[in-house]
């Protein structure tokens, strides 16, 4: 029997994502000047206020106020009527030194023996239903908000948009788990004041359906374009009004959008957030490693869908366990347990090896903090940083290394796939 599956996304102006982006900007600035920095920083944003808290072990001093304000300005909170504005908001820092008890569990004389920064389990997921091996509902939800933000910055076709927004996409699947059509699209976008609420609701709905949707649809391959039928139910700003938003409308915290950040409810999640954590925290680095493995397994033709899990004990380098679930889609004559054994011989899952393989000790995290950490474009960019003392650094870094298909050949050879 056909069934429905739903995923949501939130924009870069959503208060929780504002917090994530500030936390990851701090990570990038620490790593730019001190690649060995150990950082765990949380951000809270509310009306006119930013609070930074966390633990750091680094030889670098940063102007955390400036970093936070720069992020807020880039997102688009630049007007006083938003009640949260880059230049006028207060920024309070309560960042202090990392616990020596934690540090001694991570740092080793031999870097290869580096222990995990915490206990826990991390998951990676991949599916062949989209070109980037992501779940379709989440991929579309992200694309809607990325394009909505582009329209806001262009300020031509739609001129009333404010930074905060959410999307949600419901897909109808057939009995054999193939997407048949889009059932429902929800868009809630913050906006300027209108003369009347009725005029506002009508215009926003019309602009979403006639401007936003065609721009997103145009980006998709023909097979996915066909899912946009005339039977889609649209809920556009269903509360009727969304003028008050962002940190003024809802307090934001780092790490509250972990499902948006990963797979939109598909597969599983270990519970650990990513933003604000340096790669010694396996919540982040091992989750990236699991996505890397899952994506390469599907791309290599080992299976059509897969969930991989790893677990760690704090201070211990070797994982406690590793597991593979292909949901019965394996294309090789092996059990999931046998597939897992082969994968373990190909990927070194010790924390230091993951850091090295995926180049995680670089300032690459600001770009991850909105529109998902997975399914993004692997690319090389040049970034610029400056300390309060005027020390400048320009670095060329590779983003989203865990999205590379660089292990497809090794996996095909290991599994005898031609």
| Per-residue CA distances from 48 to 77, 85, 87, 142 (Å) | 11, 7, 10, 28
Instruction: Tell me the C-alpha distance between 207 and 314, whole Å.
Output: 51
β-bridge pairing 233-236 and 179-191:
parallel
Q: 145-149, 239-243, 318-322 — which is least confidently predicted?
A: 239-243
The crossing angle, in degrees rounded to 10, of helices 408-415 and 336-346 is 130
Domain boundaries, the chain: 3-10+135-245, 16-107, 120-127+266-415
pLDDT value, residue 34: 97
Residues in the annotated binding site for ATP: 14, 164-166, 241-242, 250, 256-257, 273, 277
Instruction: Tell me the C-alpha distance between 274 and 270, whole Å.
Output: 11
**120-173 confidence digits (pLDDT tens):** 999 999 999 999 999 999 999 999 999 999 999 999 999 999 999 999 999 999
Q: Is 163 helix (H, G, I), strand (E, B) or coil?
A: strand
Instruction: Tell me the C-alpha distance between 57 and 289, whole Å.
Output: 24
Q: How confident is the model at residue 418 (pLDDT cuts 50, 70, 90)?
A: confident
Instruction: Tell me the C-alpha distance between 138 and 136, whole Å.
Output: 6
Residues in the annotated binding site: 14, 16, 42, 55, 98, 164-166, 241-242, 250, 256-257, 273, 277, 281
Q: Could you give phi then psi for residue 139, rounded to 5 degrees?
A: -60, -45
pLDDT at 268 over 80: yes
The CATH fold of domain 120-127+266-415: GMP Synthetase; Chain A, domain 3 (3.30.300)
Closest to 162 (Cα-Cα) out of 82, 84, 237: 82
pLDDT value, residue 105: 57
Instruction: Tell me the C-alpha distance between 95 and 102, whole Å.
Output: 16
Domains 16-107 and 120-127+266-415 are alike in CATH topology = yes
Query: Which residue has tokens 């059990």?
Result: 335
- Of 110 and 322, the structure prediction assigns the larger pLDDT to 322
pLDDT value, residue 128: 97
Six token digits for residue 333: 């004559």
Instruction: Tell me the C-alpha distance between 207 and 236, whole Å.
Output: 10
Q: Is 308 helix (H, G, I), strand (E, B) or coil?
A: strand
Residue-averaged pLDDT of the chain: 95
Q: Assign domain 3-10+135-245 one CATH number from 3.30.465.10, 3.30.300.10, 1.10.3720.10, 3.30.70.20.
A: 3.30.300.10
Query: Which residue has tokens 């600001």?
Result: 366
pLDDT at 104 over 60: no
Six token digits for residue 112: 């290869």
Q: How confident is the model at residue 195 (pLDDT cuts 50, 70, 90)?
A: confident
The crossing angle, in degrees rounded to 10, of helices 64-75 and 15-33 is 130
Average pLDDT rounded to a whole number, residues 306-310: 98
Average pLDDT rounded to a whole number, residues 278-304: 97
pLDDT value, residue 120: 96
Q: What angle do CA 80, 81, 84 make, to 5 degrees?
A: 60
Q: For a pLDDT cut of 90, what percent of the chain falls above it? A: 92
| Per-residue CA distances from 299 to 154, 220, 269, 403 (Å) | 36, 19, 22, 11
Q: How confident is the model at residue 259 (pLDDT cuts 50, 70, 90)?
A: very high
Q: Could you give phi then psi for residue 257, rounded to 5 degrees?
A: -125, 50
Residues in the annotated binding site for K(+): 42
Q: Which residues pair with 233 in a beta bridge?
A: 184
- Of 294 and 240, the structure prediction assigns the larger pLDDT to 294
Instruction: Tell me the C-alpha distance between 137 and 9, whole Å.
Output: 10
Six token digits for residue 86: 């880059």
Does 16-107 carry CATH code 3.30.300.10?
yes
Neighbours of 65 (CB within 10 A): 16
**61-95 confidence digits (pLDDT tens):** 999 999 999 999 999 999 999 999 999 999 999 99
Q: How confident is the model at residue 100 (pLDDT cuts 50, 70, 90)?
A: low
Closest to 112 (Cα-Cα) out of 358, 285, 350: 350
**105-133 confidence digits (pLDDT tens):** 566 567 777 889 889 999 999 999 999 99
Residues in the annotated binding site for Mg(2+): 16
Residues in the annotated binding site for L-methionine: 55, 98, 250, 281
Instruction: Tell me the C-alpha distance between 366 and 52, whole Å.
Output: 16
Alpha helices in 212-350 (DSSP H): 213-218, 222-225, 246-249, 258-261, 282-299, 336-346
E-strand ranges in 22-89 read 38-46, 49-57
End-to-end CA distance of the chain: 35
pLDDT at 101 over 60: no
């Amino acid at each position: 029997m056909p069934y429905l599956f739903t995923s949501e996304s939130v924009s870069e102006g959503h208060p929780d994502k504002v917090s994530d982006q500030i936390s990851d900007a701090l990570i990038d600035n620490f790593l730019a000047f001190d690649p060995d920095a150990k950082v765990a920083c949380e951000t809270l944003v509310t009306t006119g206020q930013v609070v930074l808290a966390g633990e750091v072990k680094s030889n670098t001093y940063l102007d955390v106020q400036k970093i936070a304000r720069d992020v807020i300005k880039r997102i688009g909170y630049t007007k006083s009527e938003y009640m949260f504005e880059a230049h006028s908001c207060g920024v309070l820092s309560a960042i202090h030194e990392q616990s020596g008890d934690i540090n001694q569990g991570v740092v080793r004389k031999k870097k290869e023996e580096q222990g995990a920064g915490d206990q826990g389990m991390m998951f990676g997921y991949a599916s062949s239903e989209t070109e980037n091996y992501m779940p379709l509902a989440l991929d579309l939800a992200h694309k809607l908000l990325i394009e909505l933000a582009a329209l806001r910055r262009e300020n031509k076709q739609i001129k009333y948009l404010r930074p905060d927004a959410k999307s949600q996409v419901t897909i109808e699947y057939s009995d054999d788990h193939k997407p048949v059509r889009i059932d429902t699209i929800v868009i809630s976008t913050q906006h300027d004041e209108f003369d009347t609420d009725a005029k506002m609701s009508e215009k926003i709905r019309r602009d979403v359906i006639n401007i936003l949707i065609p721009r997103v649809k145009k980006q998709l391959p023909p097979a996915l374009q066909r899912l946009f039928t005339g039977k889609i139910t649209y809920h556009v700003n269903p509360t009727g009004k969304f003028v008050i938003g962002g940190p003024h409308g809802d307090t934001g915290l780092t790490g509250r959008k972990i499902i948006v950040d990963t797979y939109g409810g598909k597969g599983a999640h270990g519970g650990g957030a990513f933003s604000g954590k340096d790669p010694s925290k396996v919540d982040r680095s091992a989750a990236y490693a699991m996505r890397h493995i899952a994506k390469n397994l599907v791309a290599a033709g080992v299976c059509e869908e897969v969930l991989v899990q790893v677990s760690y004990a704090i201070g211990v380098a070797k994982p406690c366990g590793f597991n593979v679930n292909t949901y019965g889609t394996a294309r090789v004559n092996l059990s999931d347990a046998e597939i897992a054994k082969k994968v373990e011989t190909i990927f070194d899952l010790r924390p230091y090896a993951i850091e090295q393989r995926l180049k995680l000790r670089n300032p690459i995290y600001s770009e991850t903090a909105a529109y998902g950490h997975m399914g993004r474009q692997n690319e090389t960019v040049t970034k610029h940083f400056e300390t309060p003392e005027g020390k400048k650094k320009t670095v060329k870094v590779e983003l989203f290394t865990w999205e590379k298909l660089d292990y497809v050949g090794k996996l095909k050879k290991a599994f005898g796939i031609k």
